[in-house]
Amino acid sequence: MERYSEYKDSEVSWLGVIPKTWDIYRIKNLLLFHQSGAWGEDACDEYGDRVCIRVADFNFEQLAVNSDEYTIRNYMPSQIGKLQLQVGDILIEKSGGGEKSPVGRVVLFDKDFSALYANFIEAIRPNKIVVNRFLGYIFASAYHNGVNRKYFNQTTGIQNLNIASYICEKVGIPSFAEQTIITDYLDHMTGEINRLIIYLQSQVTMLDRYKRELINDAITHGIDKNISLKDSGVDWIGNVPPHWKIIPLRAFLKVVSVKNNPKLPLLSVEREKGVVDRETEGSDSNYNHIPDDLSNYKVVNPGQFVINKMKAWRGSYGVSPYNGIVSPAYYVFNLNFPNPDFFNYAIRSGKYIGFFGRDSYGIRTDQWDFKIEKIKNIPFAVPPVSEQQAIVKYLNKKIPVIESSIDNINNQIEKLKQYRQIVIHDAVTGKVKVKEINKNGN
């Protein structure tokens, strides 16, 4: 890749040297304005109903707004006039985030419909000095270089980005024509990388589906394909071997609540992984506030069954492999089952998640609460102990192979994401001199 003939020190650590012909601007001097959004009121089918862009609608990978179902909120005329988005506006997440995915990520609004934006978002409208997407790529590079971390205010477990201070950061800006060339190049390169990432993600989805189907089949039909099946009498479970028993889940579970051991590791219960060590295995999207006083948290021992009662309908439960503590809002049970590994494979399979959804209640899905007494209404298909062992042995052989393939593909995806960051950074800081993209994208 070609380099510029001369460079100069930008005196900005994350930028390093920049081409000598580029100018240094503070971001704020590249803007017409920036302002916070508003959440509005509940939609009421009146004139003030508008699409409200939320952080949940951000596609950070593609720096774009993208959603299958946008939220509709109601706004006053004064708010509509003030918060109406234009194509090319930059939207920055200013509140929320977490340690693994801090606030400060950006997208560009490129939709042809009328929309406003929520209160956790700041809208930034560039002036005529800078190409909108070029500035968007600068923000993306700054984010991946951790520049945003210097401007956090965090007092309640929620990160807040001090936008006024953040936009005082200095950046390197070439001529408008060169910005356009760089932006076209990055659109092309990131588009190619994104398409490859999407393909690899589809392979992960297929393998994950195959894994789930393999487990579902084994824990309800067994592994002897020559045996005849009978109707279990339960639609979601379907047919099972005739010698298997259907027993209420409550027969294996006894609720316990041991507290006042705050020095134990903090555990979490997630849909995809079951019971995990929150610090080392926890999801990036877990933003739940952790209180200073953990004495009220419940102790969990290896082999106990734990349910996140607010997310049981999603499958957030499992047998714990760890000793630790969980939120007081979780249920903890002693498990009396001959083969806990079979129980964990089965209960976390797609065959049983629906039962927990059926017996969870609330106004909104994110507030659904699984009622502990409903355990008695959940049927469980139980094979003889020898078959439980054989099924676990079979799955323990098959599943790691599938998961290894998934891990290998995910590693490729992560490397592509890192490469994309390098491509963006090198282009918007002038480390490389890109060529104009022709009509064929070369």
Q: Which residues of 286-310 are buried (b: 16+ CB within 10 A; e: fewer)?
A: eeeeeeeebeebbbbeeebbbbbbb
Percent of the chain with pLDDT over 70: 95
User: Which two three-digit tokens encode residue 83?
Assistant: 């918060």
Categorise residue 16: left if φ over 0, alpha if ψ from -120 to 50, beta otherwise.
left
- Angle, alpha carbons 199-202-206 (nearest 5°): 145
Residues 6+ apart with CB under 8 A from 113: 51
Q: How far apart are CA 326 and CA 201, in angstroms?
A: 32
Q: Which one of 40-44, 342-346, 437-441 scores highest in mean pLDDT?
A: 342-346
pLDDT tier for residue 40 given thresholds of 50, 70 and 90: very high
* 23-173: CATH superfamily: DNA methylase specificity domains (3.90.220.20)
> What pLDDT, on a 0 to 100 scale, did the predictor assign at position 152?
87
Q: Where are the domains of the chain?
A: 23-173, 245-382
What distances in angstroms separate CA 189 from CA 172, 358, 425, one per listed residue? 21, 46, 12
Question: SS3 of 237, please?
Answer: coil
> What pLDDT, on a 0 to 100 scale, did the predictor assign at position 6?
96
What distances in angstroms separate CA 235 from CA 143, 151, 351, 381, one per listed residue? 49, 54, 10, 12
Q: How far apart are CA 136 and CA 158, in angstroms?
A: 24
pLDDT beyond 90 at 177: yes
What one-letter code names the amino acid at 20?
Answer: K
Question: SS3 of 365, please?
Answer: helix
pLDDT tier for residue 359 given thresholds of 50, 70 and 90: confident
Please name which of 45, 110, 40 lies closest in space to residue 77, comparing C-alpha atoms. 40
| DSSP string computed for 106-168 | EEE---SS-EEE-TTEEEEEE-TTS-HHHHHHHHHHHHHTTGGGGGEEESSSSEEE-HHHHTT
The answer to whether the beta carbons of residues 381 and 231 sit under 8 Å apart is no
Architecture of domain 245-382: Alpha-Beta Complex (3.90)
The answer to whether the beta carbons of residues 14 and 150 sit under 8 Å apart is no
The answer to whether the beta carbons of residues 298 and 258 sit under 8 Å apart is yes
pLDDT tier for residue 283 given thresholds of 50, 70 and 90: low
Average pLDDT over residues 182-201: 96
What distances in angstroms separate CA 384 from CA 24, 243, 284, 348, one per listed residue? 73, 8, 40, 19
Enclosing H/E stretch for 217: helix 176-221
Topology match between the domains 23-173 and 245-382: yes
